[in-house]
Structure 1
Amino acid sequence: MPFKKLHSDIKEILASKEIVTPTPFQSGSIPTIKSGANVYCTAPAGSGKTTTLILTTLQKLKCEAVGNSPRAVILVENKQKALELYASFLIYTRHNSLRVYVGYEQLHIDIQKSEIFEGIDILISTPESINKLFLLNGVNIAQLKILSIDDAEFLSQNSAYNALMSITQSIIKCQYVLYSDKMNPTLKRFESYFMEYSTIVTG
C-alpha cells in the first residue's frame, strides 16, 4: 500500500480526508516516483494524477521548509491551472511548514522575484513565466530536487515547449515527472533531452 510508506504528516491528511485506498494508478506511480527516477505518468482523467503529484512532492520535501530556494517546481499550462493547483496544495500544506508560491505571466516579474526571494519551497507556474525568472536570475535553483509537469499535453504549443527546453538546460540535476492522459510524440521527444532513463507508468 503506497500510502502506508508516506510521511506521517501526509498519512494524517489522507486520513482526515477519508482517502484510504490508492487508485490503481497511484499504486504503481507513487513508489516509482519515490525511487527518484524520471517518470512519465500517463492515465486518464480521474485516475488520481494531481493527488499523486501533490503527495510525491510533499514526500520529496519531507513536509518541511528548508532554506529559501525552491526545491520543487511544478509547471502548468496557464494562470487558471496554476491557481487551481495552488489551492489544492494548500489543503495538504496547511499544517506543515512548507511554503507554496504561485506565479504566472500576468503577475509582474519584479513582484514575483521579490516574493520568491523571501523564501519558498514549492513554485507553481507556467513554463514561460519561470523561464523569464531564470533569465533574470529571479530564482535560485541550486537546491531543486524535483520538477513536475501537470497535464503535460500543453507542451505541444511552441512557446511552452521552447520555454521548457530553456528551463531544463539551466538545471544541472533534478528528478523530472510528467503527467498526461496519454503519451504523444512531443512528450516522447524529451527522452533525448532531460527525460533520459525514464520509466513509464500507465493507469
Structure 2
Amino acid sequence: MAFKKLHNDIKETLKRLEITSPTNFQTKSIPVIKSGVNTFCIAPKDAGKTTTLILTTLQKLKCEAVGNAPRAVVLVENKEKALELYDAFLTYTKYNSLRVYVGYEELHIDIQKSEIFEGIDILISTPKTMNKLFLLNGVSTSELKLLSIDDAEFLIQKSDYQAMVSITQSIIKCQYVLYAEKLHPKLKRFESNFMEHSKLIKA
C-alpha cells in the first residue's frame, strides 16, 4: 500500500478527504519517488499523477516549514495551471505549516522576488518565470530537494524547453520528477541533461 508509509499528517489528510486506497499508478510510483531517484511518471489522464506529485512533495518536506528558501519547486505550463495546482496544494497543507507560493508571467517579477524572500517551502511557477527569477537572483536553490513538472508535454515547445534546460543548469543538486501522459522523444532527451540515472514508471 503506497499510502501506508507516508507521513502521519498526510495519512490524516487523506482520511479527511476520504481517499482510502491508491490508484494503480500511485502504488507503482510513490515508493520509487520516495526513494529519491529521478523519475519519469507516464500515465493517462485521471491516473492520479497530480495527487502523487502533491503527496510526494509533502512527504519530502516532512509536512513542516523550514528556513526561507524553497525546498520544492513545481513547474507548470501557465497561470491557469499554476493557480489550479496551488488550490490543490492548499487542500493538503491546510493543517500543517508548509508555505506554498504561486508565481507566473503575469505577476510582476519584483513582487514575486519580495514575496519569495519572505520565506516559502513550495514554489509553483512556470519555466519562463522561474528562469527569470534565477537571472535576477530572485530565488535561492541552496535548499532545493525536489523539482517536479506537472503535465510536462508543454516542454516540447522550444521556449519552455530552453527555459527548463537553463533552470536546471542553475541547480547544483536535487531530485527531478516529470509527469506526462506520453513520453515524447523531446522529453526523453532530458536524460542527457538533468534526468540522468532516471527510472521510468508507466501505468
**What TM bracket, shorter-length normalisation?**
over 0.9
Unaligned runs of 5+ residues in structure 2 are none
Instruction: Tell me what 2:53 maps to.
Output: 53
For 1:134, the equivalent position in structure 2 comes to: 134
- The residue that corresponds to 1:35 in the other structure is 35
1:191 deviation in Å?
0.5
Distance in 1, matches of 2:173 and 2:45, equals 30
TM-superposed deviation, 1:182:
1.1
Q: How many corresponding residue pairs?
A: 203
- Answering whether residue 103 of structure 2 is matched by residue 111 of structure 1, we say no
Unmatched 5+ residue regions in structure 1? none
Partner Cα distance (2:91, 2:184) in 1: 32
CA distance in 1 between partners of 2:24 and 2:2 (Å): 10
Alignment-mate amino acid for residue 86 of structure 2: Y
What's 1:175 paired with? 175
Q: Distance in 2 between matches of 1:2 and 1:77?
A: 28
- Name the amino acid aligned to 2:56: T
**Identity across the alignment (%):** 73
Q: C-alpha distance in 2, partners of 1:150/1:34?
A: 17
In the alignment, what sits opposite 1:148?
Answer: 148
CA distance in 2, matches of 1:170, 1:186: 21
Residue 69 of structure 1 pairs with residue 56 of structure 2: no
SS of the aligned residue for 2:52 comes to: helix
Aligned partners of 2:82, 2:130: CA distance in 1, in Å? 12
1:87 aligns with 2:66: no
Deviations along 1:110-156, whole A, 9 cap, x unmatched? 00000000000000010000000000000011000000000000001
CA distance in 2 between partners of 1:8 and 1:156 (Å): 38
- Structure 1 segments, 4+ long, off by >6 Å, are none
Provide TM-score, normalisation by structure 2.
1.00
SS of the residue 1:201 aligns to = strand
Distance (Å, rounded) in 1 between the aligned partners of 2:110 and 2:101: 14
Q: State the TM-score, normalizing by the size of structure 1.
A: 1.00
| 1:151-166 superposed matches below 5 A | 151-166=151-166
Q: Distance in 2 between matches of 1:168 and 1:20?
A: 36
The alignment's C-alpha RMSD in Å is: 0.4
Aligned to 1:124, the other structure's residue is in SS state: strand
Distance 1:159 1:133 in 2: 16
C-alpha deviation, 1:6, in angstroms: 0.1
The equivalent of 2:121 in structure 1 is 121
* Paired letter, 2:11: K
Cα deviation 1:1-41 (Å, max 9, x = unaligned): 11010000000000111111100000000000000000000
